[in-house]
C-alpha cells in the first residue's frame, strides 16, 4: 500500500490509499456528514459495515489537522457538514447555506450505502434536453444500471410526469434497468398515491415550497403502470435528510438481474423488482 506521511507540527498523519479513495469520493459527492464518512470508511476498510461514529469523527479530525478535510456544525441540520478541501479535491468549498446542501448530503449518504453494499457509484450524465432528466446518481452492479433519486420534499405532479416520461424513455432505450427513490415517509406516501390512483396528497401536506400540488392530470394510466414497475420507493430519510443506521436494508441486495428492456416490454408485471 502506498502511504504518505504528512507532518503538521509535532503531529504526523498517514495518508493511505484508503484516504485518497475518500478524497475521490468527496470529489464526487462534494459534501457529506459523519454518517456518510462512517459508511465509506467501512467500505474502504474492506467491509460492508460502517465504522463507529467516533472513528469517523477521528478520521475527519486527522484529515482536518493536515488540511485535507474541513467541517462545520450547521444549526438545525444535526451533525457536522464535511467536505474535502481544495488541497484534497481541487474543488472550492461548498456553500453550506444553499437550499440544495441538505439534499447533497443526503445523496452522499445514499452513495456511501450503495458502495458499502458492493455497488459502484457515479454521477448521472447531464440531461440532454429540456424533457430529459438527470438523476442524483447511478449505482452500478453488473449488469444492472440503477438510477438513484433522493427526494426529501415532493415536487409538483406535472414535474413528476415529465421526469417519469424521461425515465421510461431511458429504460426503453436500454440505458437503465431500475430507478430507486430514497425518500422521507411523507414523500413515499405521496409517490405511492401518485402511482396508484394519481390523486396525490391533500393540499396541506403536498407543499414542495412552491404551493400546493394539484392533481397531476399529465400522469396517464400507462405511465403510472410503467412507473410502478420501474421505480422502487424506500423511505429511509428522516425530516432532516439523515439516514442513520448500522444495518444495510435488505432491498440493497434484492431484485436480481433485470430483464432486457425488449423482454420487459411485453411482460411488465413484477419482473423488475
Partner DNA sequence: GATCTACGTCATATTCTGGT
Partner DNA sequence: ACCAGAATATGACGTAGATC
Is the CB of 41 or the CB of 161 nearer to DNA?
41
The cell for 91 is 474543488
Q: Which 3 state secondary structure label does DSSP give 231?
A: strand
What are the residues whose beta carbons fall under 8 Å from the beta carbon of 166, sequence distance 6 or more? 127, 131, 132, 133
Choose one: 77-85, 135-143, 148-156, 216-224; the region binding DNA (CB under 7 A). Answer: 77-85
Residues 232 and 181 sit within 8 Å (Cβ to Cβ): yes
Per DSSP, what are the bridge partners of residue 71? 82
**Is residue 88 a contact point for DNA (CB under 7 A)?**
no
**How many Å apart are CA 189 and CA 178, to the nearest integer?**
20
**How many Å apart are CA 76 and CA 60, to the nearest integer?**
21
- Min separation Cβ 11 and DNA, Å: 6
Q: Which residue's C-alpha cell is 474502504?
A: 44
Choose one: 21-29, 76-84, 111-119, 186-194; the region binding DNA (CB under 7 A). Answer: 76-84
**Is residue 46 a contact point for DNA (CB under 7 A)?**
no
- Min separation Cβ 85 and DNA, Å: 16
Residues 254 and 191 sit within 8 Å (Cβ to Cβ): no
Helices 221-230 and 157-172, packing angle to 10 deg: 60
**How many Å apart are CA 50 and CA 58, to the nearest integer?**
14
Number of residues in contact with DNA under rule CB under 7 A: 27
Q: Exactly one of 22, 26, 31, 34 binds DNA (CB under 7 A); which one?
A: 34
Q: Exactly one of 4, 12, 128, 265 binds DNA (CB under 7 A); which one?
A: 12
Is the CB of 29 or the CB of 179 nearer to DNA?
29
- Min separation Cβ 68 and DNA, Å: 11
Is the CB of 55 or the CB of 212 nearer to DNA?
55
Which of 175, 179, 91 has the alpha carbon at shortest distance from 128? 175
Draw the binding track, 144-183, toward DNA (x: CB under 7 A; -: no contact): ----------------------------------------
**How many Å apart are CA 198 and CA 213, to the nearest integer?**
12
- Min separation Cβ 237 and DNA, Å: 13
- Min separation Cβ 205 and DNA, Å: 19
**How many Å apart are CA 245 and CA 255, to the nearest integer?**
22
**How many Å apart are CA 3 and CA 239, to the nearest integer?**
40
Is the CB of 79 or the CB of 216 nearer to DNA?
79
Residues 154 and 187 sit within 8 Å (Cβ to Cβ): yes
Q: Exactly one of 4, 17, 58, 205 binds DNA (CB under 7 A); which one?
A: 58
Draw the binding track, 224-263, toward DNA (x: CB under 7 A; -: no contact): ------------------x---------------------
Interface positions with DNA (CB under 7 A): 1, 3, 11-14, 16, 34, 41, 45, 51-55, 57-59, 61-62, 73, 75-76, 78-80, 242
Amino acid at each position: 500500500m502506498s502511504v504518505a506521511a504528512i507532518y503538521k507540527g509535532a503531529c504526523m498523519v498517514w495518508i493511505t490509499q484508503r484516504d485518497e479513495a475518500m478524497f475521490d469520493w468527496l470529489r464526487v459527492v462534494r459534501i457529506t456528514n459523519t454518517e456518510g464518512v462512517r459508511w465509506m470508511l467501512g467500505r474502504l476498510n474492506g467491509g460492508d459495515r460502517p465504522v463507529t461514529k467516533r472513528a469517523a469523527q477521528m478520521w475527519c479530525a486527522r484529515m482536518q489537522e493536515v488540511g485535507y478535510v474541513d467541517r462545520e456544525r450547521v444549526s438545525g441540520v444535526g451533525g457536522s457538514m464535511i467536505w474535502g478541501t481544495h488541497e484534497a479535491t481541487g474543488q472550492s468549498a461548498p456553500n453550506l447555506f444553499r437550499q440544495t446542501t441538505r439534499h447533497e448530503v443526503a445523496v452522499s449518504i445514499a452513495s456511501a450505502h450503495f458502495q458499502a453494499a458492493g455497488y459502484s457509484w457515479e454521477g448521472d450524465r447531464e440531461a440532454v434536453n429540456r424533457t430529459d432528466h438527470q438523476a442524483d446518481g447511478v449505482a452500478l452492479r453488473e449488469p444492472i444500471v440503477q438510477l438513484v433519486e433522493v427526494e426529501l420534499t415532493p415536487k409538483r405532479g406535472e414535474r413528476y410526469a415529465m421526469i417519469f416520461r424521461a425515465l421510461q424513455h431511458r429504460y426503453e432505450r436500454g440505458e437503465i434497468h431500475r430507478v430507486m427513490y430514497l425518500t422521507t415517509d411523507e414523500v413515499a406516501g405521496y409517490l405511492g398515491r401518485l402511482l396508484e390512483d394519481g390523486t396525490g396528497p391533500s393540499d396541506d401536506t403536498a407543499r414542495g415550497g412552491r404551493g400546493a400540488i394539484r392533481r397531476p392530470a399529465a400522469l396517464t394510466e400507462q405511465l403510472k403502470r410503467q412507473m410502478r414497475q420501474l421505480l422502487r420507493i424506500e423511505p429511509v430519510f428522516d425530516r432532516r435528510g439523515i439516514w442513520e443506521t448500522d444495518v444495510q436494508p435488505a432491498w440493497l441486495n434484492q431484485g436480481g438481474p433485470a430483464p432486457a428492456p425488449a423482454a420487459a416490454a411485453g411482460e411488465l408485471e413484477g419482473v423488475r423488482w
